[in-house]
């Protein structure tokens, strides 16, 4: 893998990065580069087999600066167990990259707690994880909490009266909603951290359209949108490692400010060098931020406190 032209990561020795979905795609590439820069990386993965394969690759290329921890975001009990293990072993966390995701299952599926799968995995699992790790995230002035959104958030809509898609399930609508929720969450967390005087930066990033397994082999690949996307791939897609660039930049940008959003700088933010991305007004809506926060606390059964 190579970084973008003239990019150079700072020395991350002594820092700890937790990355969900780090066994493949943009999560793996981000984990590899953070480990190469000296960070101790925790690969939070659902699959033991795939997690071990990713760990082996990083150990070879980054001299063993990684370890595997099992995490199933489709089960809040797994999230709680993972957070408890990390809290017991880590004094502080410098980077939390909430990257793992599910894209457009053709039929409605649910998590262990009965949530619609995409809302549950992409957003609710990460909301709970961030809440449970907040004590460790407060321990360093340079903490960065990064939510991975998508250009799909532009067409997303929060179906407040049917967040779980119980009345009507449309795969891509549910996906867009989950990614809009991730961006709203990042911005609301940033506002709350700033109001509380915390130094932690809440950021967001998106990969554009990256040629990863999530896109190539996703359940939605045979839908009309999936077929059209595959036909247009040569024009709009970029390699999977390039899709990780905005995530990496969010993790190391010395000019980062609270609530910053990163993405590719090319046509429609589909591909290109990483830089500032555009968040739609609906993601910036403070009322939506409050409403989503309240809904997530209720659904996860957890009060998200920035202080004990």
Contact 127, 257 (CB under 8 A): no
Rounded CA separation 209/234 (Å): 11
Would you call 175 a catalytic residue per the annotation? yes
At 223, phi and psi to the nearest 5? Answer: -75, 170
28, 29, 175, 261: the catalytic one is 175
Q: What is the 3-state secondary structure (H, E, C) of the chain?
A: CCCCCCCCCCCCCCCEEEEECCCCHHHHHHHHHHHHCCCEEEEEECCHHHHHHHHHHHHHHHCCCEEEEECCCCCHHHHHHHHHHHHHHCCCCCEEEECCCCCCCCCCCECCCCCEHHHHHHHHHHHHHHHHHHHHHCCCCCCEEEEECCHHHHHCCCCHHHCCCCCCCCHHHHHHHHHHHHHHHHHHHHHHHHHCCCCCEEEEECCCCEECHHHHCCHHHHCHHHHHHHHHHHHHCEEHHHHCHHHHHHHHCCCCCCCCEEEECCHHHCCCCEEECCCCHHHHCHHHHHHHHHHHHHHHCCCCCCCC
Two tokens, residue 5: 């032209």
Rounded CA separation 25/122 (Å): 15
Contact 74, 117 (CB under 8 A): yes
Catalytic residues: 175
């Amino acid at each position: 893998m190579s970084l973008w032209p003239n990019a150079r990561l700072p020395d991350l020795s002594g820092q700890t990065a937790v990355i969900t979905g780090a066994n493949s795609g943009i999560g793996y590439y981000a984990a590899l580069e953070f480990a190469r820069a000296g960070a101790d990386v925790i690969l939070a993965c659902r699959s033991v087999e795939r997690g071990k394969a990713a760990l082996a690759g990083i150990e070879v290329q980054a001299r063993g600066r990684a370890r595997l921890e099992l995490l199933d975001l489709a089960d809040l009990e797994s999230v709680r167990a993972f957070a408890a293990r990390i809290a017991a072993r880590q004094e502080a966390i410098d980077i939390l990259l909430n990257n793992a995701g599910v894209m457009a299952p053709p039929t409605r599926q649910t998590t262990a707690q009965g949530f619609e799968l995409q809302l549950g995995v992409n957003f609710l699992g990460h909301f709970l994880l961030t809440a449970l790790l907040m004590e460790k995230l407060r321990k360093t002035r340079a903490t960065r909490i990064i939510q991975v959104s998508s250009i799909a958030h532009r067409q997303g809509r929060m179906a407040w009266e049917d967040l779980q898609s119980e009345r009507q399930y449309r795969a891509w609508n549910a996906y867009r909603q989950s990614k809009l929720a991730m961006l709203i969450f990042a911005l609301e967390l940033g506002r709350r951290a700033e109001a509380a005087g915390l130094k932690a930066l809440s950021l967001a990033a998106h990969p554009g359209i990256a040629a990863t397994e999530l896109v190539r082999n996703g359940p939605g690949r045979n839908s009309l949108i999936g077929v059209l996307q595959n036909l247009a791939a040569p024009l709009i897609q970029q390699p999977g490692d390039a899709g990780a660039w905005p995530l990496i930049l969010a993790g190391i940008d010395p000019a980062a400010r609270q609530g910053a959003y990163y993405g590719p700088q090319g046509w429609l933010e589909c591909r290109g060098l990483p830089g500032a991305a555009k968040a739609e007004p609906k993601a910036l809506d403070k009322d939506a931020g409050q409403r989503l926060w309240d809904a997530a606390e209720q659904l996860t059964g957890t009060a998200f406190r920035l202080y004990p």
